[in-house]
């Protein structure tokens, strides 16, 4: 039996089947160009290009989360991030990065921050830092109780008697301590240590040279340098230190109109303080 195909009908059927497909493609093309259609999403962040950063040598002076502050010999400090890619000596964890540990840090920089690529230190220094931490933890309860008992009786600065003030002086724009200043600071610490209930208040100052921002930072750096020396070289206990501050050009001892006056104003004042509530007890 012969079957004769009806070609016009076949063509019509194919056209009907093709219509939705063509319509769909046309709709997709139209939708893609429709300015009224909003596509929501989060753009992919541009990768941060990391380049080799400076090598930092100093002492870890603070830790917070994945960041540490390294204080260098000149009293400056740098914030460095630590991540899972950071190589720490002996494949140790970041828990070994203790306050007071001298370190050498190789860094990468990018995105406005420094990231540690490698951290090395002496094993004996880590042992020392660990011993200090453990000893500190053992003494913490009794020290905290003694500190709170003392601080609980002291408040604003006007509630203190100033027993003695020592001024150490600096060259213009500098924060270095002379040998004579170092000797004077330790002498002050010894004298204060013999004074019952004594605390130290350290305040940094500058002369009128430089901008306000520069002088503020410089006065704080000078105060920090003095505090570090008092604690590290003179043995002054940190818990007997009131909050230090930098006062820039405030409270000058002399006129800034002369070089002699400026020299007097470039100073850090170390005040031996005793609360009026416990003085002469």
Place of tokens 């003030």: 165
* Structure tokens, 81: 């991030």
Q: What is the CATH number of the domain that holds 221?
A: 3.30.1330.60
Can you list the alpha helix ranges (DSSP code H) found in 99-211?
Answer: 123-151, 179-193
**Are 274 and 163 within 8 A, CB to CB?**
yes
Q: Which of the residue ranges 21-35, 89-103, 176-190 would you say has the lowest mean pLDDT?
A: 21-35
Residue 30 domain-assigned? no
pLDDT digits (tens, 9 = 90+) for 22-64: 444 444 444 445 555 555 555 555 666 889 999 999 889 888 8
Total count of domains within the chain: 2
pLDDT beyond 60 at 20: no
Share of the chain above pLDDT 90, in %: 47
The DSSP element (H or E) to which 21 belongs, if any, is helix 7-32
Residue 202 domain-assigned? yes
pLDDT band at residue 148 under the 50/70/90 scheme: low
Which pLDDT value is given to residue 235? 92
The DSSP element (H or E) to which 224 belongs, if any, is helix 212-232
Residue 188 domain-assigned? yes
Which pLDDT value is given to residue 151? 47
Shared domain for 185 and 231, answered yes or no, is yes
pLDDT digits (tens, 9 = 90+) for 107-143: 999 888 899 999 999 888 888 777 766 655 555 555 5
pLDDT band at residue 179 under the 50/70/90 scheme: very high
pLDDT beyond 70 at 156: no
List the Cα angle 19/24/25 in 5-degree steps.
105
Residue 34 domain-assigned? no
Domain that holds residue 208: 150-275
Residue 29 domain-assigned? no
Question: Does the CA dihedral 102-129-217-207 come out positive or negative?
Answer: negative
**Are 102 and 122 within 8 A, CB to CB?**
yes
Shared domain for 165 and 81, answered yes or no, is no
Shared domain for 172 and 225, answered yes or no, is yes
Beta partners for residue 58, in sequence order: 103
């Amino acid at each position: 039996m012969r079957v004769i195909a009806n070609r016009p009908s076949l063509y019509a059927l194919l056209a009907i089947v093709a219509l939705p497909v063509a319509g769909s493609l046309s709709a997709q093309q139209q939708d893609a160009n429709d300015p009224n259609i909003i596509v929501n999403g989060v753009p992919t962040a541009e990768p941060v290009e990391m380049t080799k950063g400076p090598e930092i040598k100093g002492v870890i002076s603070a830790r917070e989360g994945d960041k540490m502050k390294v204080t260098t010999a000149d009293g400056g400090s740098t914030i460095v991030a630590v991540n899972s890619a950071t190589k720490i000596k002996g494949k140790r964890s970041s828990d070994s990065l203790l306050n007071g540990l001298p370190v050498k840090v190789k860094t990468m920089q990018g995105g406005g921050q420094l990231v540690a690529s490698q951290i090395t230190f002496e094993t004996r220094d880590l042992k020392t830092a660990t011993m200090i931490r453990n000893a500190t933890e053992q003494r913490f309860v009794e020290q905290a109780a003694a500190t709170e008992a003392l601080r609980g009786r002291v408040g604003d600065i006007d509630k203190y008697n100033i027993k003695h003030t020592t001024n150490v002086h600096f060259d213009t724009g500098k924060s270095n301590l002379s040998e004579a200043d170092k000797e004077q600071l330790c002498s002050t610490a010894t004298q204060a240590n013999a004074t019952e209930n004594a605390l130290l208040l350290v305040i940094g100052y500058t002369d009128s040279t430089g901008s306000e921002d520069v002088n503020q930072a410089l006065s704080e750096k000078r105060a920090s340098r003095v505090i570090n020396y008092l604690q590290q070289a003179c043995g002054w206990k940190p818990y007997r230190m009131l909050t230090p501050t930098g006062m820039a050009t405030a409270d000058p001892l002399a006129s800034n109109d002369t070089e002699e006056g400026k020299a007097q104003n470039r100073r850090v004042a170390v005040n031996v303080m005793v609360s009026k509530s416990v003085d002469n007890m």
